[in-house]
């Protein structure tokens, strides 16, 4: 999808990139907004302008980032931010929340319709918050409610101190099983430094050491042995699809609640790239997601649930959350409305197609990929074949105008900080209009940088962070990246 690099307001845009049709209006809005900010704190206005320039001038390949439309971004900058609204729709602890009720109702309606879920909760401030709401809703439904019935209490305040201590002990001694961090899971799936690993007795399942793929028989065997209350599926760095029907079978066999964290691939679910057994919503008891990443909305979270778990999820505030961010819920509603348009399905399919093109581009140039490829939105490159750590590769690429993030690979010898991998994602550049040929060129540029980068010693000897690049590499790759970026402008027609 190339465009005339000299074009300005008439630049061709991906049909999935909303906002070009009102670029002039958005330009005026942002100029006015920044002008007002500048009168109070000019450094913030300046940093905001520079951030747009930086994003326009770099190849953004971070799998968890995207570009929201001007409509979504502008929705967050309103007086809805000024309203407290603890509680939920129609049941607030503050007066005069009728407009927030409308905002939250519309966001939840769009989420239900988009994902085919009987219930949606739009209040979580982030993906971690969404997961916390989900975990405590599961505990409330599976442990607290039966305990209250056993002790003849209507609520926790009606329990005797002895009964409360018994119930609290039960709630704090439940088991959770999720995907390990080095094989693609997220830190909120039971990683011990995270609160999820402190809330539960935790065990991880991994992937097949030879293929890097989930071995469902091995997951089932581990679940039978461990008998978790919660089985978590979903990932942040697993470049393949998941059979959620099989995960539900495993959960049902051991009496576990299946929770799916689809934060990374929610856009592929919304865009019907993942259907049937690969769509988590019909199979999970509780599904969580962020609203940015592949869904291309504001930074925030959602919880979807079956009717069994809906009442507990609905108490996310005050159970886990503070006051909802009404302005962000409004932006979620706008983004979810955008995702219900036919153009979003075309976008989601392009995200997956472009990921395969990127993976193929790496493979034909001799690079090594975890699982040997991808069939979702991300690619995980093993950089040990280049003699580098993930930290060295990430920094060298950044010097060359390519923004990525280092990521652990299975059984990573360099650990979670330096790592041995680089994670690439296609959602952001697909929003800009990049196509398969563009991503093949991106792969070529990445390999060029890594082939021309070597480890370098620090002041105290060998270093996993220091590196040296051949002269001229960064400048050459920067120039080539600039050609791709000029052909696929970000927020075309938007001028500050």
Which residue out of 142, 293, 406, 423 is catalytically annotated? 293
Q: Is 12 a catalytic site residue?
A: no
Task: Name residue, tokens 């080539």.
Answer: 480
Q: Residue 25 is encoded by which pair of tokens?
A: 């209006």
Q: Do 392 and 464 touch, CB atoms closer than 8 A?
A: yes
Q: Is 31 a catalytic site residue?
A: no
Which residue out of 86, 101, 277, 308 is catalytically annotated? 86
DSSP β-ladder status, 421-425 and 301-305:
unpaired
Which residue out of 60, 248, 296, 299 is catalytically annotated? 299
Burial of 327 (0-12, 13-18, 19+ CB in 10 A): buried
Q: Is 454 a catalytic site residue?
A: no
Task: Name residue, tokens 């461990």.
Answer: 226
Residues in the chain: 496
CA distance 134 to 139: 9
Q: Is 299 a catalytic site residue?
A: yes
CA distance 112 to 332: 13
DSSP β-ladder status, 91-92 and 175-179:
unpaired
Q: Is 86 a catalytic site residue?
A: yes
Which residue out of 3, 38, 56, 84 is catalytically annotated? 84
CA distance 264 to 237: 9
| Residue-by-residue DSSP string for 89-134 | TTEESSS--HHHHHHHHHHHHHHHHHHT-SEEE---SSHHHHHHHH
CA distance 244 to 289: 15
Which residue out of 188, 288, 289, 290 is catalytically annotated? 290
- Max alpha carbon distance in the chain (Å)? 75
Which residue out of 261, 278, 314, 360 is catalytically annotated? 261
Q: What positions carry a catalytic annotation?
A: 84, 86, 261, 290, 293, 299
């Amino acid at each position: 999808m190339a465009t005339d690099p000299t074009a300005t307001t008439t630049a061709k845009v991906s049909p999935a990139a909303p906002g070009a049709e009102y670029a002039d209006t958005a330009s005026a809005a942002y100029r006015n907004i920044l002008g007002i900010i500048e009168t109070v704190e000019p450094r913030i206005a300046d940093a905001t302008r520079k951030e747009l320039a930086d994003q326009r001038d770099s190849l953004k390949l971070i799998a968890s980032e995207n570009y929201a439309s001007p409509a979504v971004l502008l929705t967050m900058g309103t007086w809805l931010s000024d309203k407290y609204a603890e509680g939920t729709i129609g049941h607030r602890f503050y007066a005069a929340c009728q407009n927030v009720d409308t905002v939250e109702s519309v966001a939840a309606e769009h989420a239900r319709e988009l994902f085919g879920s009987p219930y949606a909760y739009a209040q979580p401030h982030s993906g971690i918050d969404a997961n916390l709401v989900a975990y405590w809703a599961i505990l409330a439904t599976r442990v607290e409610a039966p305990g209250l019935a056993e002790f003849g209490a209507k609520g926790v305040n009606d329990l005797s101190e002895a009964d409360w201590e018994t119930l609290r002990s039960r709630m704090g001694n439940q088991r959770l099983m999720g995907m390990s961090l080095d094989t693609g899971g997220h830190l909120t799936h039971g990683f011990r430094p995270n609160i999820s690993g402190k809330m539960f007795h935790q065990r991880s399942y991994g992937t097949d050491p030879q293929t890097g793929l989930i071995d469902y028989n091995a997951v089932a065997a581990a679940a039978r042995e461990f008998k978790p209350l919660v089985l978590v599926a979903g990932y942040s760095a697993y470049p393949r699809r998941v059979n959620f029907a099989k995960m539900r079978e495993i959960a049902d066999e051991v009496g576990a609640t299946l929770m799916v964290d689809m934060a990374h691939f929610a856009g592929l679910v919304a865009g019907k790239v993942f259907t049937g057994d690969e769509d988590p919503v019909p199979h999970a008891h509780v599904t969580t997601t962020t609203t940015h990443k592949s869904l291309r909305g504001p930074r925030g979270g959602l919880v979807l649930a079956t009717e069994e778990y809906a009442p507990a999820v609905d108490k996310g505030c005050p159970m886990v959350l503070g006051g909802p961010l009404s302005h962000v819920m409004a932006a979620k509603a706008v983004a979810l409305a955008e995702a219900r348009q036919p153009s979003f399905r075309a976008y989601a399919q392009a995200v997956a197609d472009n990921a395969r093109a990127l993976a193929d581009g790496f493979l034909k140039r001799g690079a090594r990929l975890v699982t040997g490829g991808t069939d979702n939105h991300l690619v995980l490159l093993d950089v040990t074949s280049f003699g580098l750590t993930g930290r060295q590769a990430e920094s060298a690429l950044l010097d060359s105008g390519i923004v990525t993030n280092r990521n652990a690979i299975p059984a990573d010898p360099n650990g979670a900080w330096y790592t041995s991998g680089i994670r690439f994602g296609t959602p952001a550049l697909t929003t800009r209009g990049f196509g398969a040929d563009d991503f093949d060129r991106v792969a070529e540029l990445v390999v060029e940088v890594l082939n021309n980068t070597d480890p370098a010693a620090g002041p105290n000897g060998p270093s996993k962070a220091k590196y040296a690049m051949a002269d001229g590499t960064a400048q050459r790759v920067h120039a080539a990246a600039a050609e791709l970026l000029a052909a696929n402008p970000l927020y075309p027609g938007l001028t500050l």
